[in-house]
Amino acid sequence: MRRPRTRASARTTGTTPEEGPGVRLQKFMASAGVASRREAERLIQAGRVEVNSRVVTTLGTRIDPWRDRVRVDGRAVQESGRRVYYLLHKPRGFITTASDPEGRPTVLDLLQGVRERIFPVGRLDWNSEGLLLLTHDGDLAYRLTHPANHVPKTYRVKVKGLVGPASLEAIRRGLFLDGRRSLPAEVRRISSQSNSWLEVTLYEGQKNQIRRTFERLGHPVLKLRRIAIGPLTDRTLRPGEFRGLTEEEVRRLKERR
């Protein structure tokens, strides 16, 4: 689907100074449920955000939520007071985005009956399955995905061949991927026959990190399922099923720093 285009008479860096009153534009967009703060920054830099009919492309722009009018792709943005949180068991064969220009099915296609405009927090690749959080609470999404917070995510992984002690120790220490050493991870063997089942907990979110790690070690991933996001886990959800989070689950997520 082609992105809607908007016209504006001029571009600007914002309606209020960088250190002036108001809130940062990307934070306002995240609070309104448009996208995570990081994705909001990309929308701003792409020229898809208007403030008072003027395109804004500079990060750090501050606005007055009561006075300034914000639009994204021509649609008005209003801050929402109610927050919703859903836990989905993503099946394989779905892309973890709100929309896809190639027309592939997305995780939002699975959330039938959900009226709020929500977005996935983090990613699971096309061939992976497992737990995925979706919300329009941009501040929480930012905290859960920011690299400095090291939110643990746990996976069940089936890899080709028998993984030896040296490979397991390399994962625990961290190994170089694209010139940068990954953070130490937790890994334990679940079973081994002709292939190996392992449980891996990561504290960072490099792209396709588990697949690239085991490929580097000579054990290509055959199956990958995420079973926990920080304190969130649910072994009863089947692929394609979802549920709202409990108040206690939301509280525990927000307590993470």
DSSP 8-state assignment for residue 106: B
Closest alpha carbon to 116 in 33, 50, 185: 33
Closest alpha carbon to 250 in 148, 153, 137: 137
How many CB atoms sit inside 10 A of residue 246's CB?
11
**Residue 125 is a catalytic residue:** yes
- Active-site residue, from 125, 137, 178, 234: 125
How many CB atoms sit inside 10 A of residue 188's CB?
10
Q: How far is CA 17 from CA 40, 222, 247, 253, in A?
A: 19, 52, 38, 33
Closest alpha carbon to 124 in 99, 103, 83, 153: 153
Which residues are catalytically annotated?
A: 125
